Amino acid sequence: MTLTLALVQILNGLQFGLILFLIAAGLTLVFGVMDFINLAHGVQYMVGAYFVAAFTAMTGGFFTGLALALPAALIFGLLLELLIFRHLYDRDHLDQVLATFGVIIFLNQAVKFVWGAAPLNVPIPDALSGAIEITDGLLYPVWRLIIIAVGLLVGLALYLVVNKTKLGMLVRAGASNAPIVSALGVNIRLLFTIVFGVGAMLAGFAGAMIAPILSVEPGMGDNVLILAFVVIVIGGIGSIRGAFIAALLIGLVDTLGRFFAPTLLRALLDPSAASQTGRAIAPMLIYILMAAVLFFRPSGLFPAKK
C-alpha cells in the first residue's frame, strides 16, 4: 500500500519536474547566453496555457488548439523580445529585473482583462482522459504519463540539438563566453533570438500541457517562475544538463517532501504536531536545498562559465 503510494508520488514528482524543465530550459539559455534575467518567463507559461484554452474552445479539439497555441506562444515571445527585452541586454541586472517585473504586472492583469478573473478549464482529450493500471491496483492518469513522456522526449531532443549540431555548439559557446563567439563572426543577436524564441515556446508548451490538469488563471506563472529560477541556479546558469537534473531533483524533493514530511515527523512528534510541522517544512525544502547547494557550490552544480 505504502509502496504503491510512494510510486504514485514519484511519478507525480517526475511529471512536475519535467514541466519545470520545459520552463527552465529556455530560461537558463537566455540567462547563460545573454546574461539577461527574464522574470517574465513565467508569464510565457501562463500565456501558453491561456492560448491553448482559447484555441481549444474555438476549434473544439485540444490538439488543434495546441497546434495553434505553440506558434502563437512563439510569436508572442518574439514580440516581447522585439518590443522590450532587446533594449535591456546592455543594462545591469537591476534594470532587467525591474522592467521584466513590469511585464509581469501588466500581463497578469491583461489576461484578467481579456479572459476574466475566473479560472478557465481545459478538458483532457477524450482518448487520453482515462487511467491505466501500472501495477496491481495502481491506476495512474494517462495524461500525466503523456506529460512525462513528452518531457523526456523534449529533453532528449534538446540534448541532441545542443550537443550534436552546429547551432548547439554555438549556443554552448555563447553560454560559456558570448563576446568571444561574437568576435569570431557569429551573429550573436540572431543566435539569441532563436534561443529566446525556442525558450519562450517551450515555456508556453509547458503551460499548454499542464492546462488540462490545472486551472488556467492569472498569476499561475509567478510561482512556477520562482521554481524555474531555483532550478537553473541549482543546475548552474547556462547548462541544459544542469537544468534537467535540477528540475527532476526539485520536482521529486517537492512532491515527496509534501507527502512524506508529515509521515516521517510522526516518529518524533505527536500526530497533530507532526502534520502541522510537516506541512510547514515541506514547501521550504527546495529553498533549503538551494541554499545548501549555493553554500557549497556558489555557481551551482554544472556551471557553464568556467
Binding residues for another protein, rule: CB under 8 A, are 31, 37, 39, 84, 87-88, 91, 93-95, 97-99, 101-110, 112-113, 222, 226, 229-230, 233, 237, 276, 279-280, 283-284, 287-288, 290-291, 294-295, 298-300
The continuous run of DSSP H or E covering 221 comes out as helix 220-235
| Complex with another protein: residue 110 or 161, whichever CB lies closer | 110
Cβ 292 to another protein shortest distance, Å: 9
What span, in angstroms and rounded, lies between the C-alpha atoms of 65 and 56?
4
Coil/strand/helix, residue 140: strand
Of residues 141 and 303, the one with the C-beta less far from another protein: 303
Which residue lies nearer to another protein by CB, 34 or 211?
A: 34
> Would you say 304 and 32 are in contact if contact means Cβ atoms under 8 Å apart?
yes
Residue 261 beta carbon to another protein: minimum distance, rounded to whole angstroms:
11
Maximum Cα–Cα distance across the chain: 66
Q: Cell numbers for 207, please give them.
A: 503551460
114 CB burial (10 A radius; 0-12, 13-18, 19+): exposed
- The grid coordinates listed for 25 are 530550459
Question: What is the helix, strand, coil percentage profile of the chain, to 5?
Answer: 75, 5, 20
- Distance (Å, whole) CA 278 – CA 258: 7
Which residue number, 6 or 105, has a Cβ lying nearer to another protein? 105
Question: Distance between CA 241 and CA 303 in Å, rounded?
Answer: 10
| Residue 304 beta carbon to another protein: minimum distance, rounded to whole angstroms | 13
Q: How far is the CB of 102 from another protein (least distance, A)?
A: 3
Cell numbers placing 178 = 558570448
Distance between CA atoms of residues 133 and 142, nearest Å = 10
Q: Which is nearer to another protein, 187 or 299 (CB)?
A: 299
Q: Give CA–CA dist 20/286, Å, rounded.
A: 13
What is the closest distance, in whole angstroms, from the C-beta atom of residue 279 to another protein in the complex? 5
In the complex, least distance from residue 236 CB atom to another protein, rounded to whole angstroms: 10
Nearer to another protein, 169 or 292 (CB): 292
- Shortest approach of another protein to residue 75 CB, angstroms? 20
**Residue with Cβ nearer another protein (63 or 101):** 101
Instruction: With beta carbons less than 8 A apart as the criterion, state whether 234 and 291 touch.
Output: no
- Considering the complex, state which of residue 63 and residue 113 has its C-beta at the smaller distance from another protein: 113
Minimum CB separation from another protein for residue 306, in Å? Answer: 16
Instruction: Round to whole Å and give the CA distance between 247 and 8.
Output: 18
DSSP 117: S
